[in-house]
Each structure stands twice: as C-alpha cells, then as structure tokens.
C-alpha cells in the first residue's frame, strides 16, 4: 500500500466515525444497480457516459428514423409518397424536439443535418 492509499483510508474512517456519511441520500437503502448485461462489455462505459449526459435510446432511435426518411425522400420520385414521408419526418422531428427540450438541449435541426452531412462525406 502506498502513502496516498493509507491517508485516503484514514480520512474515510475518520469521516465515518464523525457521522459525515449519515445524512447522505439513500443511506441504509440497497443500491439500485442497472442491468447492463444486454450491452457488450466494451461499450458499457460509453453507454453510461451517454446516458448520464442525457442521451436516450428513444432519441437515438428517432435520429436514425429521421435520417432514413430523409434518405428515402431524396430518392423518391413520386410526389404523393414524398409528401407522406415529409409528414412522417415532421412528426419524428417534433417528437425529437420535444425530447431535446425536456433535456434542455439545442433543438436546431439544421445543426443535426449539417452533422449528418459531415458524417456522410467521411463515409464516402
């Protein structure tokens, strides 16, 4: 054991004796552990970081759907079908903006589109 470890342990023990941990939220209650078994081990840390930053699976799913709909609209020749896709896209965008406003994020869709274009350019 190094000196830093010994000093840290001593300070923790002193704080515990002095009752500094008694009023912490969740004191005496079991920990609420998340089941991350469905996430590959090498991606768990990234998943936790994104989740703690406020990114949700629903938000990611909506982004993917919007990108798919936009791609389909670019390739569609039928105006009626294109109008239906535009309606679906607008619904997804509205839901996405609602999620972002709950998170107090930036809801400007042009930033998202610019980011999408940059990724597409790199993948080409």
| 28-79 pLDDT per residue, tens | 888 777 788 888 889 888 888 887 776 777 888 898 999 999 999 999 999 9
Q: Phi and psi of 26, rounded to 5°? A: 85, 10
Determine the straight-line distance between the first and last CA of the chain, rounded to whole angstroms.
Answer: 53
Range in 63-72, 89-98, 106-115 the model is least confident about: 106-115
* Residue 91 within a domain: yes
Q: Are 106 and 115 in contact (CB under 8 A)?
A: no
User: Which domain covers residue 79, as residue numbers?
Assistant: 57-123
* Residue 23 within a domain: no
Tokens of 57: 């699976």
* Residue 17 within a domain: no
Mean pLDDT of 11-28: 87
* Residue 69 within a domain: yes
Buried b (16+ CB within 10 A) or exposed e, 58-96: ebeebbebbbebbeebeeeeeeeeeeebeeebeebbeeb
Q: Are 44 and 67 in contact (CB under 8 A)?
A: no
Q: What is the pLDDT of residue 84?
A: 93
Confidence label for 107 from pLDDT (cuts 50, 70 and 90): very low
* Residue 51 within a domain: no
* Residue 80 within a domain: yes
Q: What is the pLDDT of residue 117?
A: 73
Q: What is the pLDDT of residue 113?
A: 66
Q: Is residue 95 predicted with pLDDT exceeding 50?
A: yes
CB burial class (10 A; 0-12, 13-18, 19+) of residue 106? exposed
Q: How many domains does the chain have?
A: 1
For residue 66, give the nearest of 38, 85, 46 by alpha carbon.
85
Q: Are 97 and 107 in contact (CB under 8 A)?
A: yes
């Amino acid at each position: 054991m190094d000196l830093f470890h010994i000093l840290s342990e001593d300070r923790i023990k002193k704080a515990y004796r002095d009752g500094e941990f008694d009023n912490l939220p969740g004191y005496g209650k079991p920990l609420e552990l998340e089941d991350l078994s469905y996430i590959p081990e090498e991606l768990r840390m990234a998943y936790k970081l994104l989740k703690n930053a406020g990114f949700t699976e629903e938000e990611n799913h909506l982004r993917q759907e919007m990108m798919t709909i936009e791609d389909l609209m670019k390739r569609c020749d039928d105006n009626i079908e294109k109008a239906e896709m535009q309606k679906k896209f607008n619904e997804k965008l509205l839901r996405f903006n609602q999620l972002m406003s709950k998170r107090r994020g930036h809801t400007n869709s042009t930033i998202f589109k610019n980011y999408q274009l940059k990724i597409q350019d790199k993948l080409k």
